Amino acid sequence: MSSVPVRPEQRLQPRVVAYWVLGDTLTTGVLTSLAWFVGRPLLAEHWSSWTTTLEHVLLGICAGLLLLALGAPLLAYSRWRYGFLGDLLLMRYGILFVEERAVPVRRMQHVDLVRGPLERLFGLATLVVFTAGNEGSAFRVPGLAANEAQALRDRIVEARGDGRL
């Protein structure tokens, strides 16, 4: 008897790319600005070996991180899939390291919906599921439309059937 691997088919909302780009760019912009405008002068002042070559390396690192913040969200979006099959929540995600999860509903302890300010701006929500066990006891399904996240949460609660979520 051969078993065909089941892969999740549902995609995240396309606007999650803009949400991730904005969030990652803001975070990276703040951190690289601190490195450039605070760290660079401190290093130049207190490290006698500081040279313009090291300054260019720091500038290259800052620029590389900003480019990564702009490019990684599109790659992450292209890999993210989720789905519900029977009593399993299936997920597949990752850029360099692709992770696949199949979480049985019976292991789910509770489920939350998270909507930060930027997520609300984009009309998105993140489903957070807590499971029994230690490793990976909580996982997130980001980039869902708010109503879709609520429907998925309700489906998990219904599948549990005992109101413990």
CATH code at position 138 = 2.30.29.30
What parts of the chain have a pLDDT lower than 70? 1-5, 134-136, 162-165
pLDDT at residue 2 in the model? 47
- Please tell me the total count of domains within the chain: 2
Residue 11 within any structural domain of the chain? no
Task: Supply the pLDDT for residue 131.
Answer: 85
Within a domain: 4 = no
Neighbouring C-beta atoms of residue 133, cutoff 10 Å: 10
For residue 151, give its domain range: 81-160
Q: Do 29 and 72 share a structural domain?
A: yes
Is 104 inside any structural domain? yes
- Shared domain check, 58 and 45: yes
Q: Is 143 left (phi over 0), alpha (psi -120 to 50) or beta?
A: left
- Alpha-helix residue ranges (DSSP H) falling in 106-145: 117-122
HEC-encoded secondary structure of 67-86: HHHHHHHHHHHHHCEEEEEC
How far is it, in rounded angstroms, from Cα 129 to Cα 103? 10
